[in-house]
């Protein structure tokens, strides 16, 4: 956000006049402002606005000159907000809501002009079509997402996590894939955000957990008690504040007979920042169950260390922007060292993400990091391929119900 300027006006001062080109939006911090029009030598006051009132937004949104002027009734202080800031925020909102606002603005302007509508006048016939396109795109995406949940177009892949020294696999991160028959592969960053907005993330998270537990169970059936892998499952901030999520998790673990220690819930720092009761309850419940809690992309967010200390953490995942850079950039190397030290102090595991080369792996290991994942070791694999990788001599896997 840009710095906000403060302006002081004396009673009677004009902030802007009718016909001026719009430069800024104002919010009244103190005092009263009148919105007026001078028509045929007559001043007509339309409205008086008080503390908290917004002035001048309309012309910023429409791009038209000011329809009315604004003058101070008392001594006034206003905050001045740049149009860039307003338009940036405005363009972020739901296109349907934006269309509603623009329709009401046009309607109100017409009332103000008391112009008789002419059905053939393109100025009057308000339909620019841009928002219609956006609205259509947004809703067709949402409809496709809903349909794909029903038609099971979602699946999971699993990227092995290894010890850096020996490259032995100790667990894997579960990553969701959406293969839509027409859209093709849609990146998870995109569909996860939309699913969150639609309130469907819980369904997808349950799916990720069930599939990951089923994969652990299938592996266990093949490797017996020789090796216990863990699954790191990405969950969203919405899950962390969802009531009943911990019960659902316990139910899924029970269904597949998976020990809670074998599941790490992977969250970003921002997901666990809100100190609401629902978040605290869920975090306590994860800990009571015995599941791990892993912070994803560590080092790129807030990294509020005082807060971190109070969380039931078991793992920090070093963001791939550091891991992939540590061998050639001493700042990234120092950050990795610092995170390794922090991990030891907090008594949590450190996993380096995005290890792509031999050099990356060696540097991270030299810096004291024990665990890693990345294309250098393994790419994300289907359940079938993962089982072949980890339990190659245990017979065919064809009958496994791959998602
Ligand atoms: O491989 P990849 O492009 O899948 O992952 C991109 C991002 O999407 C990552 O930040 C990852 O955390 C997120 N992501 C992948 N799978 C899931 C999932 O099952 N649930 C959630 N909430 N996020 C996921
Ligand atoms: O944010 P999160 O850590 O959940 O994201 C994991 C993402 O990183 C997935 O998109 C996964 O496919 C990707 N990924 C895994 N290994 C590597 C790697 O070595 N290099 C790069 N660039 N991406 C990787
Ligand atoms: Mn992740």
Q: Tens place of pLDDT for every residue, the chain, 403 residues?
A: 445 788 999 999 999 999 999 889 998 888 999 999 888 888 888 889 988 889 998 888 877 889 889 999 999 999 888 888 888 888 888 888 888 888 888 777 777 666 555 656 655 555 556 666 777 788 889 889 999 998 999 999 999 999 999 999 999 999 999 999 999 999 999 999 999 988 899 999 999 999 999 999 999 998 876 789 999 999 999 999 999 999 999 999 999 999 999 999 999 988 887 778 889 999 999 999 999 999 998 888 777 788 888 889 999 999 999 988 888 888 989 999 999 999 999 999 999 999 999 999 999 999 999 999 999 999 999 999 999 999 887 665 544 544 4
- Phi then psi dihedrals of residue 350, to 5 deg: -120, 130
pLDDT confidence of residue 212? 98
Sheet arrangement for strand 5-9:
5-9, 76-81, 25-30, 54-55
Ligand 2 touching residue 296 (CB < 6 A) = yes
Going from the Cα of 173 to the center of ligand 3, the distance in angstroms, rounded, reads 7
Going from the Cα of 37 to the center of ligand 3, the distance in angstroms, rounded, reads 57
To the question of pTM greater than 0.85 for the whole model, the response is no
The C-alpha atoms of residue 36 and residue 47 are separated, in whole angstroms, by 7
Distant-in-sequence, close-in-space partners of 210: CB < 8 Å, separation ≥ 6: 252, 255, 256
Ligand 2 touching residue 69 (CB < 6 A) = no
pLDDT confidence of residue 402? 43
Going from the Cα of 333 to the center of ligand 1, the distance in angstroms, rounded, reads 26
Going from the Cα of 358 to the center of ligand 3, the distance in angstroms, rounded, reads 22
pLDDT confidence of residue 122? 58
CA quadruple 333, 334, 340, 345: dihedral, nearest 10 = 180
Could you tell which of 160, 177, 189, 380 is best to mutate to test the pocket of ligand 1, judged by most ligand atoms within 8 Å of the CB? 189
Going from the Cα of 375 to the center of ligand 2, the distance in angstroms, rounded, reads 8
Ligand 1 touching residue 188 (CB < 6 A) = yes
Going from the Cα of 58 to the center of ligand 1, the distance in angstroms, rounded, reads 40
The C-alpha atoms of residue 336 and residue 134 are separated, in whole angstroms, by 42
The secondary structure of residue 209, as a DSSP letter, is H
Could you tell which of 264, 353, 356 is best to mutate to test the pocket of ligand 2, judged by most ligand atoms within 8 Å of the CB? 353
Q: Which of 293, 279, 280 is nearest to 242 (CA)?
A: 279
CA angle 106, 110, 116 (to 5 degrees): 135
Could you tell which of 188, 206, 320, 403 is best to mutate to test the pocket of ligand 1, judged by most ligand atoms within 8 Å of the CB? 188
Under a CB-based contact definition with an 8 Å cutoff, are residues 188 and 154 in contact? Answer: no
Q: Whose CA is nearest to atom 16 of ligand 2?
A: 374
Atom of ligand 2 nearest to the CA of 317: 3
Going from the Cα of 178 to the center of ligand 1, the distance in angstroms, rounded, reads 11
Atom of ligand 1 nearest to the CA of 201: 22
Question: Could you tell me how many helices (H) and strands (E) the chain has, helices first?
Answer: 14, 17
């Amino acid at each position: 956000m840009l710095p906000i300027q403060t302006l002081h006006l004396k009673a009677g001062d004009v902030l802007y006049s009718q016909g001026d080109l719009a430069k800024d939006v104002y919010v009244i911090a103190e005092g009263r402002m009148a919105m007026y029009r001078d028509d045929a030598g007559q001043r007509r006051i339309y409205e008086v606005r008080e503390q908290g009132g917004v002035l001048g937004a309309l012309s910023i949104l429409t791009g038209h000159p000011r329809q009315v002027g604004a003058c101070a009734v008392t001594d006034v202080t206003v905050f001045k907000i740049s149009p860039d800031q307003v338009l940036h925020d405005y363009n972020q909102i739901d296109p349907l809501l934006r269309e509603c606002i623009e329709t009401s603005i046009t309607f109100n302007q017409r009332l103000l002009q008391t112009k008789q509508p002419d059905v053939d006048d393109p100025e009057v016939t308000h339909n620019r079509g841009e928002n219609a396109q956006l609205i259509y795109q947004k809703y067709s995406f949402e409809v496709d997402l809903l349909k794909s949940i029903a038609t099971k177009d979602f699946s999971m892949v699993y990227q092995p996590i290894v010890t850096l020294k020996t490259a032995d696999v100790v667990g894997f991160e579960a990553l969701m894939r959406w293969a839509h028959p027409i859209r093709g592969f849609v990146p998870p960053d995109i569909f996860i955000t939309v699913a969150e907005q639609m309130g469907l993330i819980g369904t997808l998270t349950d799916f990720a957990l069930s599939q990951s537990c089923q994969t652990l169970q299938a592996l266990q059936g093949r490797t017996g008690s020789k090796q216990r892998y863990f699954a790191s499952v990405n969950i969203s901030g919405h899950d962390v504040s969802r009531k009943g999520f911990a019960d659902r998790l316990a139910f899924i673990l029970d269904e597949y007979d998976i020990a809670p220690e074998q599941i790490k819930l992977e969250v970003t720092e921002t997901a666990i920042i809100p100190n609401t009761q629902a978040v605290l309850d869920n975090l306590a419940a994860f800990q009571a169950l015995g599941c791990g809690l892993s912070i994803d992309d560590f080092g790129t967010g807030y990294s509020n260390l005082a807060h971190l200390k109070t969380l039931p953490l078991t793992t920090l995942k070093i963001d791939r922007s550091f891991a992939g850079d540590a061998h050639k950039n001493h700042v990234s190397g120092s950050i990795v060292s610092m995170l390794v030290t922090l991990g030891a102090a907090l008594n949590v595991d450190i996993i380096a993400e995005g290890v792509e080369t031999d050099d990356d792996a060696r540097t991270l290991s030299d810096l004291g990091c024990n665990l890693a994942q990345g294309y250098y070791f393994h790419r994300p694999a289907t359940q079938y391929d993962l089982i072949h990788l980890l339990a190659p001599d245990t017979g065919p896997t064809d009958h496994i119900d791959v998602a």
